Chains A and B, each alone.
Chain A
Amino acid sequence: MIVLEDVWRTYEMGEEVLHALREVSEPIPDGEHVAIMGPSGSGKSTLLNIVGCLDSPTRGRYQLDGREVASLDSDELAEVRLHRIGFIFQSFHLVPRLTALENVALPMVFAGIPPAERRKRAEATLERVGLMPWAGHRPGELSGGQKQRVAIARATIMEPGLLLADEPTGNLDTQSGSQVLNLLDRLNGEGKTLLVVTHDPNVARRADRVLVLRDGEIVRRVEGSQVSDLATLFGET
C-alpha cells in the first residue's frame, strides 16, 4: 500500500524555486495498475522516483506498507529497493559487460544469495520472459524489446510487490512495446502493484486508473478504460 500525503518536491536553483511536485496526495492500494501521464517536465519521473525510494519529498509524508520512508536510513532504503521494488527504465539500464543472465542475477548478488540458487532463479525468470536462448548474450547483442524484457526479468527476480516503469515502451517499436506491456499486465495480474509513466494513451488505457500531472500537480484522475485521446486528457478541465 502506497500512501502519499501532501507531497512536495522542490528544487531551489539560486533565486528560483521549482516545484517538481506539489500537493500530491494519493493512496494506491496493493495490486492496482496506475498510469501516470502528463506533459514533459510535469513531474512524472519525480513522482515515480519518490515512490521508488530513490528520491525523497521536500515536504509531506510517504508511507510504503505502513512504514514512514523518511525515517529509513540508507541501508534500510537499499533493503526496501532490493526486496520491495522493481524498476524498469526507458533506456533499459543493463550493465553492458554482463550477460543477460548476469544482469538478471545482479539483485540476487546484492542480496547475498548463493551462486547456484542465483543461476537457477535467473534462468527460470529469463524463461518466463522468453529469453532463455539469449541467456549468455550481452546487451549489445539484443534488440530493444529483448533488452527491456531482460530488465523486467531483473526487476522481478527478487519478487517485489511493486513495479515502477518509467516510459518502458518509449524506446520501442509498437510490436515489441506491446510484448513488454503484455508482460507487465501479466505481472500485475499476479498481484503486483504497477505504476507506469507514459505518454501513450494506448499504454494508459490498460491501467485501472490514470493520474494526470501538470506542473507537479495531479490535475485529473480517470479510469483507464475512459482514456480516449490525448486531447481529452490534457485539455482544460
Chain B
Amino acid sequence: MTGSDLMRFAVNALAQHRRRTLLSLLGVVVGVVAVVSLTALGEGARRFVTDQFASLGSDVLMAMPGRNETTGGLPFAGGVPNDLTLEDARSIERQIPDIQRSVPISASTADVSRKQRSRQALVVGSTPGFRRVRDLQMLSGSFLPIVDLERGAPIVVLGQKIARELFEETEPVGQPVRVGGSRMRVIGVLAGRGVQMGLNLDDSVVVPVATGLRLANRASLTRLLLEVRPGADMEAVKEQVIDLLDDRHGEKDVTVITQEAVMSSLSSILQVLTLVVAGIAAISLTVAGIGIMNVMLVSVSERTSEVGLLKALGATRRQILLIFLLEAVLLSLAGGVVGLATGWLAVEVGTAIYPSVPATPPMWAVWAVIGVSFGTGTLFGVLPAWRAARLDPVAALQGGH
C-alpha cells in the first residue's frame, strides 16, 4: 500500500464524516490558537522587558531615586526619597575613579510643535555623554554640545519619527520648534533606533539636562547612567556609588542596578510566565488530542465491519494501523495549520487594535505547533489505530451489521 493510496483512503474516510471531522478539527484549532496567541503575548512581554533593560550595556550602572528593598529587583517607591541631583552626578564622576562617565537623565513629556503641527513627545534631558553611552547615530546635524550643566540651552535634538512628523521633507536642522512652550532650535536629528530602556528615542526629543529639568519642573533626575571603566569590578563600583550617595543624602535612598541583576530577576519572572504559557498550551493541545482520540475510537467502532472486511481481503495489521493513524495525523495536522493561520490572524488583529501590546508569535512556536499537532495526532491516534489493527476479523465482520 503506497503513501498516496493511504492518503486517498484516509481523506476519503474523513470526508465521509464531515461534521465529525470538522468538530474534531475545531478542537485542535482552538488549542493551536491558544498556543499561538499565548506565546505571542509571552514573547511580546519578553521583548518589551528585555528591550528595556538589555540595552543598558554590561558596563553601565543605573542609579534611580527610591529605595529598593529586594536586592537586584526593581525599585518600589517607599516614602519620599531625596532628589538625585546634578551635583550627585558630578561628584560620582569626580570621586569614584572607576566611573568613567556619569550621564544624568531627566524624562518628561511635553508638546513639541512646529507651526500648526503638534505632537506629544518624551523629552529627555541629558548631556553629550548620553550619545556615547547609548551609542547613538545622527541622521543629520549634531548631538548636544557641552553646555553649562546647570544652565542648559534652547537647543533640541529630534528623534527620527518626530522629525519626520513635524518637518516631513524639510530639513529640520537650524529650524525653530516649540518644546513645552519654549522656543528652541533644532541642532540635529537622531538616526532610527527603536525602543531602548523603555524609551522610544524615535518618538523623543533630547535637550540639555538643565533644560529638561526645567521643562519637567523638577529638581530630581530620573536616571543616572554610570559608565564603568572596563575591567573594573561592577559590584564593588556599585557599592562605592551607593556609599557615596548615602554620605551625600544621609540615607540609602537610591537604587543602583546592573544589567545582570535586572536581567536575572526578570528572567525568573519570565521563566514562570513561559511555564504558565507552556502549561496552558499543553493542556489545550492535550484536550484537542483526547478529542481526536475520541473521534478515532468512534470511527474505529463504527467501521468495525469495514476493518473485518479489509482483513478478509488481505490487509495486514500494519496497513490497517497506518490507515487509521494517518486519519488521526491528518486531522491534527489540518487542525494545526488552520489553527496557526487563525492564531496569526488573531494576533494581527489584536496588535492592530492594541498597538501598545507588542505581540508576535515567535518562530519556534510555529514549528512547535506543527510538531506538536503532528505528535498529538500520532500519540492519540495510536491507541484507536492499534485497536483497529488488533480486531478479530470474524468478530469484526459480524460486529458491523
Question: A residues 89-148 with Cβ under 8 Å of B?
Answer: 89, 91, 93, 95-98, 106-107, 109-112, 115
A55 within 8 A of B: yes
- Whether A98 and B401, one on each chain, are in contact in the complex, defined by CB atoms closer than 8 angstroms, is no
Q: Flag B1-32 by CB within 8 Å of A: 1 or 0 each.
A: 11001000100110110000000000000000
| With contact pairs A93-B309, A109-B1, A112-B2 given, residues A55 and B394 touching in the complex (Cβ less than 8 Å) | yes
Size bin of chain B's contact surface:
20 to 34
Chain A residues with CB under 8 A of B16: 96-97
Q: Is B397 an interface residue (CB 8 A)?
A: yes
Shortest B327–chain A CB gap in Å is: 13
Residues from chain B with a CB closer than 8 A to the CB of A91 are 401
Are the CB atoms of A95 and B309 closer together than 8 Å? yes
Distance, CA A74 to CA B13, complexed state (A): 25
Whether A78 contacts B317 in the complex (CB less than 8 A), given A87-B312, A95-B309, comes out as yes
Does A19 interact with chain B (Cβ within 8 Å)? Answer: no
What's the least CB distance linking B308 to chain A, in Å? Answer: 8
Q: Are B394 and A49 in contact (CB under 8 A)?
A: yes
Question: Which residues in window 301-353 of B have CB below 8 A to A?
Answer: 305-306, 308-319
- Confirm or deny: B159 has a beta carbon within 8 angstroms of a beta carbon on chain A: no
Question: Are B312 and A95 interface neighbours, CB within 8 A?
Answer: no
Please state if B313 and A107 are interface contacts (CB–CB under 8 Å): yes
**CB <8 Å contact, A81 and B13:** no
B200 → chain A, closest Cβ, in Å?
59
**Knowing A54-B393, A112-B2 touch, does A95 contact B316 (C-beta < 8 A)?**
no
Residue among B9, B313, B315 making CB contact with A87, cutoff 8 Å: B313
Is the pair B12, A110 in contact by a Cβ cutoff of 8 Å?
A: no
Give Cα distance in the complex from A85 to B311, angstroms: 12
What mask results when residues 65 to 107 of chain B are scored 1 for a CB within 8 Å of chain A, else 0? 0000000000000000000000000000000000000000000
Report how far A85 CA is from B312 CA in the complex, Å. Answer: 9
Instruction: Report A166 CB to chain B, min CB distance, Å.
Output: 9
Tell me whether A82 and B313 are in contact (CB under 8 A). yes
From A82, A93, A95, A96, B314 is in contact (CB under 8 Å) with A82
A47 vs chain B, min Cβ distance (A): 12
Instruction: Flag whether A52 is at the interface (Cβ < 8 A).
Output: yes
Q: Are B12 and A78 neighbours in the complex by a CB distance under 8 Å?
A: no
Residues of B within 8 A of A96 (CB): 16
Contacts A/B (CB < 8 Å), 17 sampled: A49-B393, A54-B312, A54-B394, A75-B317, A79-B314, A93-B308, A93-B312, A93-B397, A95-B309, A97-B12, A107-B314, A109-B1, A110-B313, A110-B316, A112-B2, A154-B313, A158-B314
